[in-house]
Amino acid sequence: MRDVTTYHFDGPRVQATKNLPCPWCGRKVRRQRTFHHTVNPFNRRDDGTPKTWDEVRQDVLAEVEAWKAVPEPHTACAEADEEF
């Protein structure tokens, strides 16, 4: 039997909420999501060196800002649109 080594990597976690108007009906839609990236040896900069915690956190925050900018429809509005 082979010995198995398991590595657990931790990283920054950001919980984000957006509150934008529905693109179909115009009422407010509230969405919440948790973004998480790990700080690990495979998460590298362009020069090949591993990213620091703060650099990975900046990547997570950039992903949060991109997600917040995109409006989402209500589930009922999206289902109604699929029927037609």
* pLDDT of res. 81: 66
**Mean pLDDT of successive 10-residue segments in the chain (84 residues)?**
85 95 91 95 92 96 96 85 57
Predicted pLDDT of residue 39: 93
Contact assessment for residue 56 and residue 11, using Cβ atoms and an 8 Å cutoff? yes
Backbone angles phi, psi at 18, to 5 degrees: -125, 150
* Closest to 36 (Cα-Cα) out of 52, 56, 54: 56
CB atoms within 10 A of CB 29: 19
Copy the structure tokens of residue 54. Answer: 């703060």
